[in-house]
Amino acid sequence: MRYLTRTIVAVSAISLFTDVASEMLYPIMPIYLKSIGFSVLLIGILEGIAEATAGLSKGYFGQLSDRIGKRVPFVKWGYAMSAISKPMMAVLTAPLWIFGARFMDRLGKGVRTASRDALLSDESSPENKGKVFGFHRAMDTLGAAIGPFMALIFLALYPGNYRMLFIIAFIPGAIAVALTFLVKESKHTEKAKKEQAQKRPNFFSFLSYWKVAPKSFKTLVPILLLFTLFNSSDVFLLLKIKEAGLSDLYMVGIYIFYNLIYALAAWPMGMLADKLGMKRVLAFGLLLFGGAYLAMPAASTLLHFGLIFTIYALYAASTEGISKAWITNISDRKDSATAIGFFTAFSSIATLFASIIAGVIWETVSPAAVFMLSGSVALVCVGMIVLLKKRL
């Protein structure tokens, strides 16, 4: 447990409270948006653009963090922007205003994510990185379970009062912002600052990282991006539950259950990755994703969705934190934020297209086709990862 430094615990607590705020809103977001006139396709475009915004800014701010040798300012400003955006969505319901609020929320995520993950990497060693990222993911996802639970209680008392939830969500977001003042710069970051005093990058200069990236990075990242291109927003999973005729309370309840399983499994999966290798655990996770998505079209009862979301939670625990830990292990420490920013930038662009594609297929073909396509591509990616060199 000595690998859990004060900074790692503080950053993990910040993520917990931020996810309490964000995930209070996530399960009801598609319902709220549909109630103010958004179609499923427009929801897909909104979520995709929001994620693309976060991704592109992750690349820029990640490289900027490496260049100036600081992580903490990006963490502070990023979490503050996301906290402020929550009540904005309750003020006005015009599409452009909603897009603006989501833009600020996701831009905040873009500002903080690469620096936060690089800070976690700076505070750990290659031997325990899976545990560190697993612990952070567990805390983050615990917040993702608490948030929807609070939303569930609120909706039970005040059915349909979605706007008030956006205002309430500001409270845990503000707590997260206050906790950022406990985070200190890593000694490794300060050392890197002295070693590379370079000019500030322009917005797209992080793209040049591909030229100097290690070969292992160039081998792994395209596979992960292929998978992401067909892994649309989880909003479509929630819409599938609604399509099956389950109530809003059941939908939020299933989402809480999913996040609890995810939170419980993330840390053990990180430990397993340190022991067995990240390649094996990540491939296992993608295999679970394929199984969950291929089974989704046949789901129609609460039991069906419970089983599928259990599998889906284990997939998330086996991949989300571990993929970032793996990337930081195969990149130079001085470029860790840039490497994560590069990956997450392209990952979010892929998510944009994935969500738009899913929205189009959902409305023009069928919901089942969305899940069948995603599940099949995931199985292809499993084979590609298995064929990677053992020591990658």
Would you give the distance in Å from CA 266 to the centre of its chain? 13
**Model confidence at 197: pLDDT above 60:** no
Task: Walk me through the domains of the chain, giving residue ranges and CATH numbers.
Answer: 6-185+213-386 (1.20.1250.20)
Q: Which residue has the higher pLDDT, 200 or 382?
A: 382
Q: Which of 28, 359, 287 is nearest to 165 (CA)?
A: 28
**Model confidence at 235: pLDDT above 80:** no
**Model confidence at 76: pLDDT above 90:** yes
Read off the pLDDT band of 392 (50, 70, 90).
low
- Rounded to whole angstroms, the Cα distance separating 357 from 48 reads 10
Read off the pLDDT band of 1 (50, 70, 90).
low
**From residue 47, how far is each of 40, 104, 139, 318, 348 by CA, in Å?**
11, 13, 24, 24, 10
**From residue 89, how far is each of 97, 103, 162, 317 by CA, in Å?**
7, 11, 10, 30
- Rounded to whole angstroms, the Cα distance separating 316 from 22 reads 18
Q: Quick: pLDDT tens for 324-340.
A: 889 988 888 888 888 98
> DSSP letters along 122-175, please?
HTS-TTTHHHHHHHHHHHHHHHHHHHHHHHHHHHHHSTT-HHHHHHHTHHHHHH
User: Which residue carries 């989402």 as its tokens?
Assistant: 255
User: Which residue carries 């990185």 as its tokens?
Assistant: 129
- Residue 337 C-beta-side C-alpha neighbours within 13 Å: 32
- Top mean-pLDDT range of 51-55, 75-79, 156-160: 75-79
Q: What percent of the chain has pLDDT over 90?
A: 29
**Six-digit token pair at 123?**
């505070």
Average pLDDT value for residue range 384-390? 80
Q: Which residue has the higher pLDDT, 233 or 343?
A: 343
- Top mean-pLDDT range of 28-37, 125-134, 236-245, 366-375: 366-375
Contact criterion met (CB below 8 Å) for 258 and 142:
no
Mean pLDDT is lowest, of 71-75, 113-117, 193-197, 243-247, for 193-197
- Rounded to whole angstroms, the Cα distance separating 232 from 242 reads 17
**Model confidence at 391: pLDDT above 60:** no
Q: Quick: pLDDT tens for 210-232.
A: 988 898 899 999 999 999 999 87
- Rounded to whole angstroms, the Cα distance separating 240 from 293 reads 11
Q: Which residue has the higher pLDDT, 36 or 366?
A: 366
Average pLDDT, the chain: 84
**Model confidence at 97: pLDDT above 90:** no
- Top mean-pLDDT range of 91-105, 344-358, 363-377: 363-377
Average pLDDT value for residue range 363-384? 91
- Rounded to whole angstroms, the Cα distance separating 164 from 352 reads 28
Supply the pTM of this predicted model.
0.81
Enumerate residues 6+ apart whose C-beta is below 8 A from 296. Answer: 237, 240, 308, 368, 371, 375
User: Which residue carries 């284990």 as its tokens?
Assistant: 314
